[in-house]
Amino acid sequence: MTVSRWMGLGAAVLVAALAGIALGTMGLSVSESWVALAGRGDPTNIFVVRELRLPRVLLAALVGAGLGLSGAALQGVLRNPLAEPYLLGVSGGAAVGAVIAVSAGLAIALVPVAAFAGAVGAVALALFVAHATHGRGDPRVLIMAGVVVGAFANAAIMIMMANADAATVRGALWWMMGSVADATWTQIWSLAAYVLVGGVALAAFGRTLDALSLGEESAAGLGIEVDRAARIVYLTASLVAAATVAAAGLVGFVGLVVPHIARRLGARGHRVLLAASALTGAFLVILADVVARIAMPPAELPLGAVTAALGVPFFLITLRRLA
Amino acid sequence: MALMRLVRARATASLFTGGFLLTRCWVLVAIAAVACGSPRSPASPVSSAVIDDFGDTIGVAQATRIVSLNPTSTEILYALGAGPKLVGRGQYDLWPDTAKRLPDLGPGIRPNVEALIAARPDLVLLYASSDNRPAARQLRGAGIRTAAFRVDSIAQFERLARLLGRLVGDSAGGALLADTVRRTLDSVRALTRQLSRPRVVLPTWEQPLIVIGGGSFLSELVTIAGGENVYDSLPSPSPTVTFEDVVRQDPDAVLLGPERGALIRLNPRWRALRAVRNGRVLIMDTSRVLRPAVRLGEGAVSLALLLHPELARR
């Protein structure tokens, strides 16, 4: 990837973030938003910019970066362009956890914890199934196991929702559509830790992923413990995705589409791809959140639907150019 | 005799309704003055704080710029003559007509917090659904007094009327509103006590089949109006049931809103019910029984007349 492409990507993220800080229901001008961001002027404006908009932008960026990283790593380790955290049971497991928490009437603060536990549980189950059936982490078996665990999770959700009261259904549905509207600083810091540590860990396996893309035998020939490396990458990517889901619910399509856009931008080699995917993901989700809140004021659109609506055209253009 | 009492009940019920709420306010003030024996002191300091349904403590200082995102609290504030203090409403708060002129601040569940802050209120009233907790937290963070209340039952309506009376510096008005509604309901109850109690089912949705359960104020209202909801024992306000179970319950009448009424008449499966075959499909005036609010009394009267048309003849 050329330097100018990197700078363009960075500038796009920055512009999206500035739009996220300047745009909203409360019609502040750009200069008013800037003054408020600096902590000066009208206290209400300061609150709106620093405690409502800024956390949203940061959380959206982290969710996008996390899903982008996770998608890029999973596509690499499973050698499958359709691989993404949601396909592998992360979303299904997280949704089961969240729906159980919502219908049990648990405190709203416990829903993310339950979602995280559900996601980790589903990933562990998929790994267990894959290993039990094949003895080792064959990527095809792993993908099938993930899809099946996801289908099981869907069934569990439908059974729970069928007889739930209206408030539970609404709460669960809202969560499944994804949102960064309720962003808190605690969420931001904990997700930042996951994305940062996860990102560094995945980048450390960048060369391994590059070798894996040549095929398992070649990688083994290069002295790589393929099984162990694949398991670590798979688990790390799933954990990062689970953390994003716990913070913002299900934000669909990002994990799948972002690595492809990053490759299209010229990212070659997994370290570069991971970094470019993180930036692209951050850009896409910040932009989607801005659209979600300014498209139909004072109502908001579901973030997960907007990311898909924005991501699909990008993806189709990418495919067209590839063909 | 019965009719006289019914007419009286209706008169009290309609005290809080109709277009000229401001005029009605003066009636209220007059009644309040008589009732209390002395003119009200609007700014009387009330020391004890209020705990809302999120368990948060709400100061009771008088509010002057109120955003109400709960149709019931919007109705109550207008009935108390505090309409001019409202600076925003939820998208479905359309009663009384005057409320339609307030800025529509969007959904009452998961509201747009920025839009609320932009209205610069000193009090925001939310419905206490757990989806509203993040909004309540953010609003308090912005230094805006925020109170969330559940309003699912008649008792919760009365509590809210008294409480909002305190928050707008009109405790007597709030208490009077609650008491008036209570008295109307009591007189309807007394009127229907000796009558036969038709067993009714109240479908609100067809696919899936959802009915009114015991958790809904409408079930309470049916009891007061001299009927019996066959699903009163189910704790949920709107449980899903099977059609077969409705047939098994064999209600005397089906009670529902106008648009559902047409559906049931068109759908042949409902003819499995004796009540439907006998033409006992009763159409409620949904504008009166929409929610547990200021027009509860009116709703009870209209339901009583629907279930016991002989009341009007006597």
In total, the C-beta contacts within 8 angstroms joining chain A to chain B are 76
Name, in order, each residue with C-beta under 8 angstroms of B302's C-beta and a sequence gap of 6 or more: B284, B285, B288, B289
Distance from CA of A195 to the nearest CA of B (A): 24
Check if the beta carbon of residue B270 is closer than 8 Å to that of residue B243: no
Higher pLDDT: A33 or B206? It is A33
Question: Is pLDDT of B15 > 50?
Answer: no
Show the tokens assigned to B1. Answer: 């005799």
Q: Find the residue in B nearest to A296 (Cα).
A: B106
Give kind and range of the element (H or E) at residue B151: none
Mean per-residue pLDDT of chain A: 88
Check if the beta carbon of residue A121 is closer than 8 Å to that of residue A243: no
Question: Is pLDDT of B12 > 70?
Answer: no
**pLDDT of the residue at A218:** 82
- The pTM (predicted TM-score) of the whole model is 0.81
Q: At what angle do helices B171-192 and B154-167 cross, to 10 degrees?
A: 160
Q: Find where tokens 């003066």 sit.
A: B26
**pLDDT of the residue at B34:** 36
Question: Is pLDDT of B188 > 80?
Answer: yes
R_g over Cα of chain B: 21
CB contact residues (below 8 A), chain B span 74-103, against chain A = 91
- In percent, how much of chain A has pLDDT > 70? 97
Question: Is pLDDT of B26 > 50?
Answer: no
Higher pLDDT: B101 or B258? It is B101
The confidence band for A322, taking pLDDT boundaries of 50, 70 and 90, is: low
Of A20, A16, A13, A300, nearest in space to A177 by CA: A300
**pLDDT of the residue at A79:** 87
Altogether, the residues listed in chain A come to a count of 323
pLDDT in tens, A254-298: 999 999 999 988 888 999 999 999 999 999 999 999 999 888 887
Per mean pLDDT, which range of B38-47, B66-75, B104-113, B176-185 is the poorest? B38-47
Name, in order, each residue with C-beta under 8 angstroms of B167's C-beta and a sequence gap of 6 or more: B50, B58, B60, B62, B63, B123, B147
Per mean pLDDT, which range of A301-305, B12-16, B98-102, B226-230 is the poorest? B12-16
**pLDDT of the residue at B13:** 47
- Separation between Cα atoms, residue B145 and residue B126, nearest integer Å: 11
A47 inside 8 A of chain B by CB = yes
- Separation between Cα atoms, residue B93 and residue B115, nearest integer Å: 16
Which residues in chain B touch residue A293, judged by CB atoms under 8 angstroms apart? 112, 114
**pLDDT of the residue at B236:** 86
Strand arrangement of the beta sheet that strand B66-68 belongs to: B86-89, B66-68, B123-127, B146-149
Which residues in chain B touch residue A51, judged by CB atoms under 8 angstroms apart? 138, 141-142
Interface contact B131-A297, CB threshold 8 A: no
Q: In this structure, are strands B199-201 and B203-205 parallel, antiparallel, or unpaired?
A: unpaired
Interface contact A162-B143, CB threshold 8 A: no
**Alpha-carbon distances, residue A177 vs A54, A167, A182, B136, B157 (angstroms):** 21, 15, 13, 21, 33
B31 inside 8 A of chain A by CB = no
- Separation between Cα atoms, residue B84 and residue A155, nearest integer Å: 51
What HEC string does B42-103 produce? CCCCCCCCEECCCCCEECCCCCCCEEECCHHHHHHHHHCCCHHHEEEECCCCCCCHHHHHCC
Show the tokens assigned to A260. Answer: 């492809």
Mean per-residue pLDDT of chain B: 84
- Separation between Cα atoms, residue A27 and residue A48, nearest integer Å: 11
Question: Is pLDDT of A179 > 70?
Answer: yes
**Beta strand ranges found along B134-236 (DSSP E):** 146-149, 199-201, 203-205, 210-211, 228-229
The confidence band for B24, taking pLDDT boundaries of 50, 70 and 90, is: very low
What average pLDDT does the segment B70-88 reach? 96
Which residues in chain A touch residue B65, judged by CB atoms under 8 angstroms apart? none
Name, in order, each residue with C-beta under 8 angstroms of A124's C-beta and a sequence gap of 6 or more: none
Which residues in chain B touch residue A165, judged by CB atoms under 8 angstroms apart? 236-239
Q: Is the ipTM of this complex over 0.85?
A: no
Per mean pLDDT, which range of A61-65, A164-168, A245-249 is the poorest? A164-168
Interface contact A26-B114, CB threshold 8 A: yes
A223 inside 8 A of chain B by CB = no
Q: Find the residue in B nearest to A171 (Cα).
A: B131
pLDDT in tens, B115-162: 999 999 999 999 998 889 999 999 999 999 999 999 999 999 999 999
pLDDT in tens, A127-167: 888 777 765 557 788 888 888 898 999 899 889 888 787 77
Question: Is pLDDT of B23 > 50?
Answer: no
Per mean pLDDT, which range of A239-248, B229-238, B257-266 is the poorest? B257-266
**pLDDT of the residue at A197:** 96
Higher pLDDT: B313 or B302? It is B302
**Hey, CA dihedral for B167, B170, B173, B175, is it positive or negative?**
positive
Interface contact B131-A170, CB threshold 8 A: yes
Name, in order, each residue with C-beta under 8 angstroms of A291's C-beta and a sequence gap of 6 or more: A301, A306, A310
Name, in order, each residue with C-beta under 8 angstroms of B96's C-beta and a sequence gap of 6 or more: B17, B19, B21, B75, B78
- In percent, how much of chain B has pLDDT > 90? 62
- Separation between Cα atoms, residue A273 and residue A323, nearest integer Å: 21
A108 inside 8 A of chain B by CB = yes
B109 inside 8 A of chain A by CB = yes
**pLDDT of the residue at B20:** 35
Which residues in chain B touch residue A167, judged by CB atoms under 8 angstroms apart? 129-131
Q: Find the residue in B nearest to A166 (Cα).
A: B238
Q: In this structure, are strands B228-229 and B281-283 parallel, antiparallel, or unpaired?
A: unpaired
pLDDT in tens, A100-131: 888 887 766 788 889 899 999 998 888 888 77
What average pLDDT does the segment B305-313 reach? 90
The confidence band for B167, taking pLDDT boundaries of 50, 70 and 90, is: very high
Show the tokens assigned to A259. Answer: 């690595």
Question: Is pLDDT of B231 > 90?
Answer: yes
**pLDDT of the residue at A323:** 60
pLDDT in tens, B27-58: 343 333 333 333 344 444 445 678 999 999 99
What HEC string does A271-306 produce? HHHHHHHHHHHHHHHHHHHHHHHHCCCCCCCCHHHH
The confidence band for A89, taking pLDDT boundaries of 50, 70 and 90, is: confident
Distance from CA of A127 to the nearest CA of B (A): 34
Check if the beta carbon of residue B46 is closer than 8 Å to that of residue B171: yes
What average pLDDT does the segment B193-219 reach? 91
